[in-house]
């Protein structure tokens, strides 16, 4: 089987692309396709050409791995597409699976498109910080209209073949054998002339308002990003310029977007997300358990949110509380959440009832005896957790996974009270657990491979992005955020306003800065932890400016007042009393106040994450730098187009990060220093090699 197979079906030539797993347009594919077109052109007996994907899909796009190759070495998709468009014999794209990006662009350059009913098609380039660069911005609006094309190109989300048929993007839907029907279709249209070329169509009657609205929209959905603006400009050109002009401009803007740090960041995340699913030492055939039922201990905010993930995936849940009132309250919150979703039209009331019917409330822990997985989501206290796991050890059936949703505690210690530590794992959900996509999967010393593999598979099933982390205080996400929080407080001590710190992070693209985030999480949480830790360590009672704010009853958004004031709209507004409190604090402690630039604030905050991340990596708590980036994007709102904190540091250059840390009087982590000295990067760092 060659990378592009040529098969003659009488007077039709079928070109089958075989480039698993997703038939990306990799080196070798254009050569094979050109050879196929040469054969069709040179043989009078061939009247039409069908292009089809071998395996599970049509072409899923350009090969993202080749984006950084020099232009002359990268597969020439545009060259192939130009030839296809001008080809003198009819060409038919036969689509199954997904036709994405360059894949859909190939299909759009064919004269006809047929597709299986379950196929999907889209232009997801925006998710990689680029734009459809092989005619997509010019052809799609000419077929489906500007409005729909903008919607598809700006969201990057694919549409179903059935919708594509209604839009005229697909000429025929296929129920039976795709290849056979595509050949029959090609034969039927073999003599049709002139050939229907999308590039020859015109777009008329589009109100300028459409583009103005789109530009306004991306200000909210893609703040600070380059390629969405380019996409709108190019779509507008379809209404004002001939195809050839838009086609050339598209090439120029594609290159500009592709060579931007934003695209490098997003591509890094694309691969990091896929890598995160792979666990060194675990093979594909590691046995997994089918999770058919779940038990959750605790019907509070966390327990309820976790339960919803399972209910959404159709997995029955038994939820346990210690008192009837708390149980009723927990259930009512879950129901209210679902009903609110239904009000927004995203669920029917029938769905709501179906999900609620999968939920069994109980006050009796023994009712968890049949559950395949039990997740404890109670108060963060080692004594309480140990007590629960001791009981669970007696109740749970053999083989059940016993998981803790702790965000900081030692999972090894929790596992040690059971007679089956190999069945114990940490599943750290992020609040609100029914919304946030991140799941830190905490591998304890004795967690079995099978429990780990089952947990990873379960994460996917319930729509989470699972990342494996090791045991330490705060695991990856919270351990880093503590350092960031400390740095933010220090910045204020030195003279910054809380709103300066937040504004710097907002400018970077984080929806919330450190203080907006603390207010949302509740200031009392950190306050109680600080007070508790000081007590345990025999240290004086903490008395930072933030502690003083909490002691005035300002606990954050939930009390309408924290570092900021909050009205009905929940927007943070600076408060004069807080500003005065900070000023008094500085004066009392003899802290000299100075002006801090946005650059300094940004560097100190982001590099505090990076420095702790490097240490975490060195200790083996995270397997790879990309895992840390995935955690920060899905758990903390770090903008993907910045590549996550570690990807951002790579982009800045580790030497520069080290120099900045030193300038601010901080000690770079040994791994960070070493990589900077070697001219290395986090992305290029490989634990196995570094230990060899």
Instruction: Determine the Cα–Cα distance for residues 374 and 550; give it in Å rounded to an integer.
Output: 35
Q: Which of these segments, 16-24, 227-235, 367-375, 467-475, binds ligand 3HC (CB under 6 A)?
A: 16-24
522: left (phi over 0), alpha (psi -120 to 50) or beta: left
Residue 131 or 549: the one with the smaller Cβ distance to ligand 3HC is 131
Minimum CB–partner distance for residue 272 and ligand 3HC (Å): 10
Beta pairing partners, 92: 50, 112
Q: Does 17 bind ligand 3HC (CB under 6 A)?
A: no
The yes or no reply on residue 22 touching ligand 3HC (CB under 6 A) is yes
Nearer to ligand 3HC, 46 or 128 (CB): 128
Tell me how far, at minimum, the Cβ of 120 lies from ligand 3HC, in Å.
Answer: 8
Cβ of residue 234: shortest distance to ligand 3HC, in angstroms?
Answer: 12
Kindly state the smallest distance separating residue 533's Cβ from ligand 3HC, in Å: 41
Q: Of residues 13, 37, 50, 60, which one binds ligand 3HC by CB under 6 A? A: 60
Q: Six-digit token pair at 227? A: 């390629």
Smallest distance, Å, CB 30 to ligand 3HC? Answer: 12
* Per-residue contact string for residues 508-527; x = within reach of ligand 3HC by CB under 6 A: --------------------
Among 101, 298, 474, 635, binds ligand 3HC (CB under 6 A): 101
H-helix or E-strand spanning residue 48: strand 48-53
Q: Catalytic residue at 380?
A: no
Residue 125 Cβ, how far from ligand 3HC at the closest point, in Å? 5
Instruction: Please pick, among 9, 31, 44, 125, the residue that the annotation labels catalytic.
Output: 125
Residue with smaller CB distance to ligand 3HC, 124 or 421: 124
Q: Give the bridge partners for 116, in sequence order.
A: 174
Which of 9, 41, 105, 413 is catalytic? The answer is 105
Please work out the total of residues on this chain that contact ligand 3HC, with binding judged by CB under 6 A: 24
Residue 267 or residue 443: which is nearer to ligand 3HC going by CB?
Answer: 267
In Å, how far are 483, 496, 504, 590 from 593, measured between CA atoms?
Answer: 22, 8, 19, 9
**Strand partners of residue 566:** 572
Query: Coil, strand, or helix at residue 150?
Result: helix
Using CB atoms within 10 Å of the CB of residue 190, give its burial: 0 to 12 exposed, 13 to 18 middle, 19+ buried: middle
Of the candidates 642, 645, 631, the one whose C-alpha atom is nearest the C-alpha of residue 430 is 631
Cβ closest to ligand 3HC, residue 77 vs residue 441: 77
Strands 438-443 and 424-429: antiparallel
* Cβ(81)–Cβ(104) below 8 Å: no
Residue 105 is a catalytic residue: yes
β-partners of residue 361 are 319
| 380 burial level (CB within 10 Å; 0-12, 13-18, 19+) | middle
* Distance in Å, CB of 640 to ligand 3HC, minimum: 13
How many helical (H) and strand (E) elements, i.e. helices and strands, does the chain have? 29, 19
88 binds ligand 3HC (CB under 6 A): no
Rounded to a whole number of angstroms, the minimum distance from the CB of residue 129 to ligand 3HC is 10
CA distances from 147 to 212, 214, 216, 277 (A): 12, 9, 14, 36
Shortest Å distance, C-beta 61 to ligand 3HC? 3
Cα–Cα distance between 100 and 15 in angstroms, integer? 18
Query: Which one among 75, 90, 102, 498 touches ligand 3HC, defined by CB under 6 A?
Result: 102
Binding to ligand 3HC in span 246-305, by CB under 6 A? 271, 274
Determine contact, residues 45/13, Cβ cutoff 8 Å.
no
Phi, psi values for residue 127, rounded to 5°? -70, -15
Give whichever of 61 and 635 is closer to ligand 3HC, judged by the CB atom. 61
Nearer to ligand 3HC, 94 or 126 (CB): 126
- How big is the CA angle at 417 (ends 412 and 422), to the nearest 5 degrees? 55
Among 32, 36, 53, 61, which residue interacts with ligand 3HC (rule: CB under 6 A)? Answer: 61
Kindly state the tokens that stand for 658: 């080290």
Distance (Å, whole) CA 238 – CA 135: 11
Report helix angle 598-618 to 477-494, nearest 10: 150
* Residue 275 parent element (H or E): helix 261-276
Residue 44: partners with Cβ closer than 8 Å, 6 or more residues away: none
Pick the closer one to ligand 3HC by CB: 104 or 334: 104
Identity of the residue, 136 or 466, whose beta carbon is nearer to ligand 3HC in the bound complex: 136
Kindly tell me which residue out of 16, 46, 63, 510 binds ligand 3HC, with binding defined by CB under 6 A.
Answer: 63
Q: How far is the CB of 42 from ligand 3HC (least distance, A)?
A: 28
Q: Look-up: residue for tokens 């780990």?
A: 452
CA distance 653 to 678: 12
**Nearest distance from residue 156's CB to ligand 3HC, in Å?**
8
Q: Which is nearer to ligand 3HC, 136 or 513 (CB)?
A: 136
Query: Which lies closer to ligand 3HC via its Cβ, residue 262 or residue 447?
Result: 262
**Contacting residue, 16, 19, 91, 98, with ligand 3HC by CB under 6 A:** 98
Of 62, 174, 465, 491, the one binding ligand 3HC by CB under 6 A: 62
Nearer of residues 103 and 361 to ligand 3HC, judged by Cβ = 103
- For ligand 3HC, the binding residue among 15, 24, 48, 368 (CB under 6 A) is 24
Stretch of 95-103, 161-169, 178-186, 566-574 lying at the interface with ligand 3HC (CB under 6 A): 95-103
- Spatial neighbors of 277 by CB under 8 A, at least 6 apart, are 456, 460, 466
Nearer to ligand 3HC, 125 or 171 (CB): 125
Stretch that binds ligand 3HC, among 94-102, 588-596, 606-614, 617-625 (CB under 6 A): 94-102
CB of 579 to ligand 3HC, least distance (A): 47
- Candidate list 95, 100, 427, 596; residue touching ligand 3HC; CB under 6 A: 100
Task: Tell the smallest beta-carbon distance from residue 132 to ligand 3HC (Å).
Answer: 4
How many other CB atoms are found less than 10 A from the CB of residue 681?
A: 17
Read out DSSP for 359-405? EEEES-GGGGTT-SEEEE---S-HHHHHHHHHHHHHHSPTT-EEEE-
**Token output for 354:** 């179906």
24 CA to centre of own chain: 21
CA distances from 436 to 329, 347, 391, 455 (A): 22, 19, 30, 17
Q: Which stretch binds ligand 3HC (CB under 6 A): 101-109, 163-171, 260-268, 620-628?
A: 101-109
Which DSSP string do the residues of 548-567 spell out, in sequence order?
HHHHTT--BGGGTBSSEEE-
Q: Which of 15, 51, 77, 523 binds ligand 3HC (CB under 6 A)?
A: 77
What the block records as the tokens of 465 is 């992005």
8, 65, 460, 535: which one contacts ligand 3HC (CB under 6 A)? Answer: 65
Residues 110-149 that bind ligand 3HC (CB under 6 A): 124-125, 128, 132-134, 136
Give the other-Cβ count within 10 Å of 580's Cβ.
10
Q: Which positions lie near ligand 3HC, rule CB under 6 A?
A: 21-22, 24, 60-65, 77, 98, 100-102, 105, 124-125, 128, 132-134, 136, 271, 274
Active site residue ranges: 105, 125
């Amino acid at each position: 089987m060659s990378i592009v197979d040529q098969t003659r079906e009488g007077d039709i030539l079928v070109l089958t692309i075989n480039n698993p797993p997703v038939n990306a347009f990799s080196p070798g594919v254009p050569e094979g396709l050109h050879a196929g077109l040469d054969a069709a052109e040179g043989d009078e007996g061939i009247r039409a050409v069908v292009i089809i994907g071998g395996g599970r899909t049509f072409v899923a796009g350009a090969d993202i791995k080749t984006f950084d190759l020099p232009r002359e070495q990268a597969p020439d998709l545009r060259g192939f597409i130009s030839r296809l468009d001008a080809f003198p014999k009819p060409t038919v794209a036969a689509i199954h699976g997904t036709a994405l990006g360059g894949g859909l662009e190939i299909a759009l350059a064919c004269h006809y498109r047929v597709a299986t009913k379950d196929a999907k098609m889209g232009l997801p380039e925006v998710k990689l910080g680029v734009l459809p660069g092989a005619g997509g911005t010019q052809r799609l609006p000419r077929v489906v209209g500007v409005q729909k094309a903008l919607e598809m190109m700006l969201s990057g989300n694919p549409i179903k073949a059935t919708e594509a048929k209604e839009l005229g993007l697909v000429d025929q839907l296929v129920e039976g054998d795709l290849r056979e029907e595509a050949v029959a279709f090609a034969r039927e249209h073999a003599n049709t002339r002139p050939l229907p070329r999308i590039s020859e169509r015109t777009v008329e009657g589009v109100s300028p308002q459409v583009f103005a609205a789109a530009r306004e929209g991306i200000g909210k959905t893609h703040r600070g990003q380059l390629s969405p603006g380019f996409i709108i400009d190019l779509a507008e050109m379809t209404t004002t310029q001939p195809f050839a002009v838009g086609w050339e401009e598209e090439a120029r803007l594609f290159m500009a977007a592709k060579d931007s740090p934003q695209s490098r960041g997003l591509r890094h995340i694309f691969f990091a997300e896929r890598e995160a699913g792979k666990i060194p030492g675990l093979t594909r055939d590691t046995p997994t358990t089918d999770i058919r039922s779940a038990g959750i201990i605790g019907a509070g905010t966390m327990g309820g949110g976790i339960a919803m993930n399972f209910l959404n995936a159709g997995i029955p849940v038994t939820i346990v509380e210690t008192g009837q009132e708390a149980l009723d309250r927990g259930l009512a919150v879950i129901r209210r959440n679902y009903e609110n979703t239904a009000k927004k039209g995203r669920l029917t009331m029938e769905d709501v009832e179906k999900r609620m019917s999968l939920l069994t409330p109980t006050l009796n822990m023994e009712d968890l005896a049949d559950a395949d997985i039990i997740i404890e989501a109670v108060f963060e206290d080692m004594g309480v957790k140990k007590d629960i796991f001791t009981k669970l050890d007696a109740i749970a059936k053999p083989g059940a996974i016993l998981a803790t949703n702790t965000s900081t505690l030692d999972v090894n210690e929790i596992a040690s009270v059971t007679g089956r530590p190999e069945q114990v794992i940490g599943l750290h959900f992020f609040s609100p657990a029914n919304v946030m996509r991140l799941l830190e999967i905490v591998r304890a010393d004795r967690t079995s491979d099978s429990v780990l593999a089952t947990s990873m598979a379960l994460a996917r099933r319930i729509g989470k992005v699972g990342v494996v982390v090791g045991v330490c205080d705060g695991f990856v996400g919270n351990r880093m955020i503590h350092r960031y929080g400390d740095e933010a407080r220090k910045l204020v001590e030195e003279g910054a306003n809380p709103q300066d710190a937040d504004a710097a992070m907002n400018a970077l693209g984080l929806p919330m800065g450190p203080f907006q985030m603390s207010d949302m999480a509740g200031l009392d949480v950190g306050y109680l932890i600080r007070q508790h830790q000081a007590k345990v360590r025999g240290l004086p009672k903490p008395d930072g400016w933030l502690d003083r704010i909490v002691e005035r009853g300002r606990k954050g958004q939930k009390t309408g007042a924290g570092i900021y004031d909050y009205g009905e709209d929940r927007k943070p507004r600076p408060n004069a009393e807080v500003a005065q409190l900070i000023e008094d604090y500085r004066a009392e402690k003899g802290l000299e106040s100075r002006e801090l630039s946005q650059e300094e604030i940004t560097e100190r905050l982001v590099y505090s994450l990076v420095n702790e991340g490097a240490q975490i990596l060195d200790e083996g708590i995270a397997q790879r730098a990309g895992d840390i980036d995935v955690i920060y994007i899905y758990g903390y709102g770090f903008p993907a187009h910045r590549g996550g904190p570690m990807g951002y540091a790579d982009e800045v250059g580790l030497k520069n990060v080290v120099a900045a840390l030193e300038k601010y009087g901080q000690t770079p982590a040994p791994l960070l220093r070493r990589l900077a000295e070697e001219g290395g990067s986090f992305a290029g760092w490989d634990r196995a090699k570094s230990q060899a």
